[in-house]
Structure 1
């Protein structure tokens, strides 16, 4: 996300420290992004000719080592970063790798998954048409914050988070303190993977396709000019199924989240939310999350 600057602490200082500037319209501008229009990445299951078979770490020691490798790789690029991690194996129903999976993190644009579920619920689990349908697609594929704000206002604001948390069974998800600051919703890594699992397993086909099908063809460059290809898609390549990213400066920190589904049949759901020091520019932050995601991909036999 980059549509608004949140008011959690010394915002102006955080924006400057993050290496971004404010445009006249109040949007965040990332000077490292390539403004080449809305190029699209197709990342649906089975589309990659060189997709690999991913497998989880087989022993508790290997799971612990994998979690440490992800954190170490991130901190190797940006020391002082704090990462959460949850990797859910849908084949076994178990958590394959985890680091503080129940610790809530700011979602930034990852909350758009909850908004999407609520919109679809209001429409009887069918993709809406008209402006609402256009906003839903733009919010997911281009991470369009203006579209998210319109849907947030239309469908009840913070009540969206409460309703969807109850529906999906999320126990470490809370709405923002300020009702209009949807980006300051908090979710734990475990709740993020529960949300994806709900999308995969509990939604009717048309509703599932409206979300995961769109996330399978996300725009390489977001509506605010941010390069969305960091983290999971950069690390897993053809093994990537669907992705929702998040980014923003908050107070003295920079938040960058990479989440999604990887592996044949959408086997693994991954949530990797990271808090980086506030003087980290976004290009370096992207490199850090990609390093962490690559460590995970290597441990699963991909990358």
Structure 2
């Protein structure tokens, strides 16, 4: 599924692309709970403009959101996808499988994946993990702006085969992640279908607070969710993060990214409630 590589985005153009108008908020913005750091960006594809924004260029550690970029990089450098890799892509995108992500990460040259993707998609804030942690794909730094831009790239410039494969899997995201955590927070719980989602979470330990029926029977010895950010160069290190991103509304009208960092020691259930309420209030504000 190879397409012609995009040239590096000129500095002037990159600056223009990065400019998110401060007046994009079309309604009263959601209230962010004390102790929670939040950023969001919503692009209305029908109107062709941003309709809600907060801290759109603030960097967060990606957790599993980076799996979309890993998939784009993999697909655009190959004409054919072996059956075994197709299965890995399916579980990585639908169930956020960390083992699958690590496989592609190692094959693609780790941080080189992010360098290539940021250049080809014209991302403003996305950078590889710290040099001291090259294998930690979840320590990629990114912003709500770059996530929205990534989804828009799939619609506007990607090969249709790449777009349809990735978005097709995100439309069928499973209720449970491969590590046993419930990934229906944010968009799935807050917004009626149709939607397509890629979720991210990090810093909540290795054991889900409650059983998830669709959990993978046997997990990796160490999953991404167990890798706590512990060093400089990693946004919000030491704090649990929870992100919900994707498409919402008829005809995939809205491209949404809601990124959050929660208080140290914050519980999974409390964090889920906070991001889901933020997402619900944000969507009601833009969709009416």
TM-score (norm 2): 0.77
How far apart are residue 91 of structure 1 and its match? Answer: 2.1
* Higher relative contact order (Cα pairs below 8 Å, separated by 6+ residues): 1
How far apart are residue 292 of structure 1 and its match? Answer: 0.4
How far apart are residue 60 of structure 1 and its match? Answer: 4.5
How far apart are residue 297 of structure 1 and its match? Answer: 2.1
Cα distance in structure 1, aligned partners of 2:157 and 2:190: 28
CA RMSD in angstroms, aligned pairs only: 1.7
TM-score (norm 1): 0.74
Ranges of 4+ aligned residues in structure 1 off by more than 4 Å: 59-62
Q: Indicate how the Cα distance of structure 1 residues 62 and 138 shifts in structure 2: closer, same or farther if over 3 A, else same.
A: closer
In the alignment, structure 1 segments of 5+ residues that lack a partner are 1-58
Alignment-derived partner of residue 255 in structure 2: 269
The equivalences for 1:1-303 within 5 A come to 60=23, 63=26, 65-66=28-29, 69=30, 72=31, 74-75=32-33, 79-124=34-79, 128-177=81-130, 178-238=133-193, 240-249=194-203, 250=229, 251-301=237-287
Corresponding pairs, count? 233
How far apart are residue 187 of structure 1 and its match? Answer: 0.8
Per-residue displacement from partner, 1:82-130 (whole Å, max 9, x unpaired)?
0011111122322110001011111100000110000111113x5x122
Cα distance in structure 2, aligned partners of 1:187 and 1:200: 20
Alignment-derived partner of residue 28 in structure 1: none
Cα distance in structure 2, aligned partners of 1:180 and 1:61: 37
Alignment-derived partner of residue 22 in structure 1: none
Quick check: 1:252–1:277 contact (8 Å CA) kept in 2? no
Alignment-derived partner of residue 29 in structure 1: none
Per-residue displacement from partner, 1:34-79 (whole Å, max 9, x unpaired)?
xxxxxxxxxxxxxxxxxxxxxxxxx95963622xx2xx1x41xxx3
Q: Indicate how the Cα distance of structure 1 residues 102 and 166 shifts in structure 2: closer, same or farther if over 3 A, else same.
A: same
Q: Indicate how the Cα distance of structure 1 residues 134 and 100 shifts in structure 2: closer, same or farther if over 3 A, else same.
A: same
